[in-house]
Amino acid sequence: MNRDERPEDKIVRLMREATPKPRKTRKPASEKPSVTGNQVSSMGDGNLVVGGDMQYIAGPAPRPKVTVKTGDGVIDAKQKAEIAAKVKQWNAAHNAIRRNKMTMAAAWSAFNAAMKVNSYAELRPEQLPEAQAWIKRQRAILSSMKSAPTKIPGFRGEMIKAIKSRSRELGDDGYYRPHITKTYGVSSLTGMSDRQLQELRAWIMQQRRR
pLDDT digits (tens, 9 = 90+) for 14-39: 777 766 666 665 655 555 555 555 55
Quick one: 151 exposed, middle or buried, by C-beta within 10 A (0-12, 13-18, 19+)? middle
Contact 189, 201 (CB under 8 A): no
Q: Say whether pLDDT at 6 is over 90.
A: no
pLDDT tens-place string over residues 125-164: 999 999 999 999 999 899 999 999 999 888 999 999 999 9
Q: How far apart are the first and last CA of the chain?
A: 148
Instruction: Specify the 3-state DSSP secondary structure of 114.
Output: helix
Question: pTM of the prediction?
Answer: 0.58
% of the chain at pLDDT higher than 70: 70
Region 44-59: mean pLDDT is: 52
Which pLDDT does position 68 carry in this prediction? 43
